[in-house]
Amino acid sequence: MNLSTTLTLPRAKARLGALLFALAIVLAPWLLGHAGGNAWVRTLDFALLYLMLALGLNIVVGYAGLLDMGFIAFYAVGAYLTALLASPHLTSQFAVLAAWFPQGLHVSVWLIVPLAALLAAGFGLLLGAPTLRLRGDYLAIVTLGFGEIIRIFMRNLDRPLNITNGPKGIASVDPVSLFGVNLARTQDLFGLRVPSVYLYYYLFAALALVIVFVCVRLEHSRIGRAWVAVREDEQAASAMGLDTKRLKLLAFAMGAAFGGVSGAMFASFQGFVSPESFSLNESIVVLAMVVLGGMGHIPGVILGCLLLAALPELLRASLGPLQQSLFGQVLVDPEIIRQLIYGLALILAMLYRPAGLWPASRGGQ
Amino acid sequence: MDTFIQQVLNGLLLGSLYALIALGYTMVYGILRIINFAHGDLLMVGALVGLSVLHGVQGAFPHCPGVLMLLVATLVAMAACALLAMLIERVAYRRLRNAPRLAPLISGIGVSLLLQTVAMLVWSRNPLMFAQLLPLDPIQVTPGPTGAITNATALTTIAVALLVMAGLWLLVEHTRLGRAMRAVAENPQVASLMGINPNRVIVLTFAIGGALAALAGIMMASNYGSANFYMGFLPGIKAFTAAVLGGIGNLRGAMLGGILLGLIEALGTGYLGQATGGVFGSNYQDVFAFVVLIAVLVLRPSGLLGERLASRA
């Protein structure tokens, strides 16, 4: 066979594939928005937020094999940090701060994102340090407890000092503003009217791409291979001279940092945070995305995210009217059907496809 | 002093419930080395089935004495949950006995989600009133207007829990089935060479755990007067904490751990509220269990009484 064709053909194909992929990412909101309206683009925005979370969790669960069931806590940390630094809440509660910042606290997104990543990573270390010696299933319960503790504190830290505003949550969080462009408003860019949800889509897509890139590079790095070694056999890994404690802590911190960034974006996008957004159910949703898609395999995780994030909307759009026309009323809330599907998906995935819908090829490792 | 006695009474009530649930976790863990994540939801199903049976009996025999109704409801709920636990074992865990450790845990999470959702469909998402058929009149334990009080429901709960635990202890230590359970926990292969059918033992273990959870669920609903689809989650996690506190796989450990955790929670919440003038009060009750869990796992990972079963290679 001619050597040059075997070399160039896949490369040309790969280039074409990359081009189509880029085109798909750029056009996605326009196509979706045209077909179904802005609500669908909003769903896509949330799917991307979930994707960032799931990629973070994938580092902890997929690469390092540490089952974290309280991952939403890091999302919460990022979201609350943003809400505190970019809303009138703190200055309205503390006169000292109001004197320092008469305009109110409006920290720039350029500062908030790294801060959220750092703070969440700090919390990741805080959780990781005492739990390093624990076996997998104990770890799951402790992380679950950690997630609940964070939520309980956020719900109750409105006394004695009102820091989190308790169950009422913090409202009017500043939207993201990049280079003077406020993403919360419809903008006229290059002669096009671009609605807010589209702008956020591009921001989130860019962030998700950065995270994907970091994850891919990590996966093929020394650290990534070390994580897999720890996951497969901790004792053997430590006998090979790997510092398993530091590796696990690193996994917790890295995963948490991505979770924190995602949380910061969530708070700015939503403009409002409250403890109810960070319940255990959310942790389970993110875990389901990673497990169903394929633990430790980035394309699988992306697939899992898109499937499970689109699912409730699809169900709402299809099942509600279907029931309406069949029985004359909505008998079963689509929300409940989504929950049923999540539960079944977790069980069936473990029974029949333990490595997920799109598993990593083991030979590559 | 009154506060102390009051909180000890509250703690004993909570603790005996935790202990009943913890036994289910510990028995399953002792034999299969898996955490049955759906165990807490069995409690919820037990309480809700009991509630429906109570309604049914009340409708059919309005003159039936309350205690008898409660007894019927309890027995039906226990049987239903025993069957449900067997079904869960068959569907979600049996195929995964030799799978990686995380697999049964994740499928257990799925089962838990499924049970909660189905319960939400059947019994609605709102809290339902659970008829309190045992007397609730306050019983004065220490005199005075601020004296400690309790009631017959709470005392019955504690007594029944202690009796059931004693019975379980006799079952495991002094019957053929108990010996078979211990043998399978020790080594299923060797046990099956000795003529024990490990699957039968495992299924029975799940059934006993389910029945105990249902009992705990009914007791909890009787004491608080309500039941809902989400009521199993927190007690489940706390009972797991209790099992770990006592040393998972260890029956006496689960009982001790349950009672201790109940006391810690009640006393801790009571005194924390008092010490901080009500600033950190009962809102933080749930934090205690998790802090205890983390502390135990860090300081003494095998629990107070130790894991009774040496780890299998």
Confidence of residue A178 (pLDDT cuts 50, 70, 90): confident
The answer, yes or no, to whether residue A167 has pLDDT greater than 80, is yes
- Average pLDDT rounded to a whole number, residues B119-139: 85
Looking at the domain assignment, is residue A359 inside a domain? Answer: no
Q: Which chain A residues contact residue B113 at CB under 8 A?
A: 284, 339, 342-343, 346
Chain A closest-CA separation from residue B243 CA (Å): 12
Q: Is residue A358 part of a domain?
A: no
The domains of chain B, with CATH numbers, are 2-299 (1.10.3470)
**3-class secondary structure per residue, chain B:** CHHHHHHHHHHHHHHHHHHHHHHHHHHHHHHHCCCCCCHHHHHHHHHHHHHHHHHHHHHHCCCCCHHHHHHHHHHHHHHHHHHHHHHHHHHHHHHHCCCCCHHHHHHHHHHHHHHHHHHHHHHCCCCEECCCCCCCCCEECCCCCCCCEECHHHHHHHHHHHHHHHHHHHHHHHCHHHHHHHHHHHCHHHHHHCCCCHHHHHHHHHHHHHHHHHHHHHHHHHHHCEECCCCCHHHHHHHHHHHHHHCCCCHHHHHHHHHHHHHHHHHHHHHHHHHCCCCCCHHHHHHHHHHHHHHHHHHCCCCCCCCCCCCCC
pTM of the model: 0.84
Among A133, A148, A344, the residue with its CB nearest the CB of B301 is A133
What was the pLDDT predicted at B312?
Answer: 35
Which position has the higher pLDDT, A45 or A131? A45
Q: How confident is the model at residue A234 (pLDDT cuts 50, 70, 90)?
A: confident
Residues of A in contact with B35 (CB under 8 A): 137, 140-141
pLDDT band at residue A4 using 50, 70 and 90 as cut-offs: low
Looking at beta carbons, which residues of chain A come within 8 Å of B243? Answer: none
Q: Is residue A307 part of a domain?
A: no
Question: Which of A131-135, B17-21, B129-133 is predicted least confidently?
Answer: A131-135
Locate the chain A residue with the closest alpha carbon to B236.
Answer: A141
* Interchain contact, A336 vs B104, CB within 8 Å: no
pLDDT cut 70: percent of chain A above it:
95
Residue of B nearest to A66 (CA): B102
pLDDT for position A124: 93
pLDDT confidence bin for A121, thresholds 50/70/90: very high
At A263 the pLDDT is 93
Report if residue A40 sits inside a domain.
Answer: yes
B187 — pLDDT class (breaks 50, 70, 90): confident
In a domain, A26, yes or no: no
pLDDT level of residue A252 (50, 70, 90 thresholds): very high
Q: A152–B286: do the CB atoms touch at under 8 Å?
A: yes
Cβ <8 Å between B111 and A347: yes
B88 Cβ under 8 Å from any chain A Cβ: no
Query: Is A364 a residue whose pLDDT tops 60?
Result: no
Q: Specify the pLDDT at position B311.
A: 38
Least confident piece of the model among A212-226, B96-110, B117-131, B161-175: B96-110
Peptide bond into A160 cis (omega under 30): yes
Q: How far is B136 from chain A (nearest CA, A)?
A: 31
Of the residues A347, A352, A362, the best mutation for testing chain B's interface (the one with the most B CB atoms within 10 Å of its CB) is A347
Higher pLDDT, A233 or A362: A233
Q: Is A327 among the domain residues?
A: no
B117–A contact, CB cutoff 8 A: yes
Question: β-strand A187-189 against A192-194: which pairing, if any?
Answer: antiparallel
A308 within some domain: no
Q: Mean pLDDT across chain B, nearest whole number?
A: 87
Is B290's Cβ below 8 Å from some Cβ in A?
A: yes
Predicted pLDDT at B14? 92
Considering A136-140, A231-235, A314-318, A355-359, the range whose residues carry the highest mean pLDDT is A231-235
Weakest-pLDDT range from A33-37, B12-16, B304-308:
B304-308
- Closest partner residue to A346 (CB to CB) among B113, B241, B283 is B113
Range(s) of the domain holding residue A101: 36-278
The pLDDT mean for chain A works out to 84
Q: Contacts of residue B34 in chain A, CB cutoff 8 Å?
A: 137
Q: What is the nearest CA distance from B169 to chain A, expressed in angstroms? A: 26
Domain count, chain A: 1
ipTM rounded to 2 decimals: 0.83
pLDDT higher at B163 or A319: B163
Per-residue pLDDT of A42-78, as tens digits, reads 888 899 999 999 999 999 998 988 888 889 999 999 9
Does the structure show a pLDDT above 70 at A128?
Answer: yes
Cβ contacts from A onto B, under 8 A? 120
Statement: residue B281 has pLDDT above 70: no
Which chain B residues touch A144 with a CB distance below 8 Å? Answer: 237
Pull the structure tokens for residue A125: 């270390």
User: What pLDDT sits at residue A8?
Assistant: 60
Confidence of residue B308 (pLDDT cuts 50, 70, 90): low
The pLDDT tens digits for A92-113 are 877 777 777 777 778 888 889 9
Mean pLDDT value of segment A167-185:
80
Is some CB atom of chain A closer than 8 A to the CB atom of B240?
yes
Mean pLDDT across A150-179: 83
Is a pLDDT exceeding 80 seen at residue A330? no
So what's the pLDDT on residue A3? 52
Q: Is position A263 within any domain?
A: yes
The pLDDT, as a whole number, for residue B310 is 37
Higher pLDDT, B214 or A330: B214
Which chain A residue lies closest to B35 (C-alpha atoms)?
Answer: A137
Chain A contact residues (CB < 8 Å to B)? 65, 67, 69, 130-131, 133-138, 140-142, 144-146, 148-149, 152-153, 155-156, 159-160, 280, 284, 287, 291, 332, 336, 339-340, 342-347, 349-351, 354
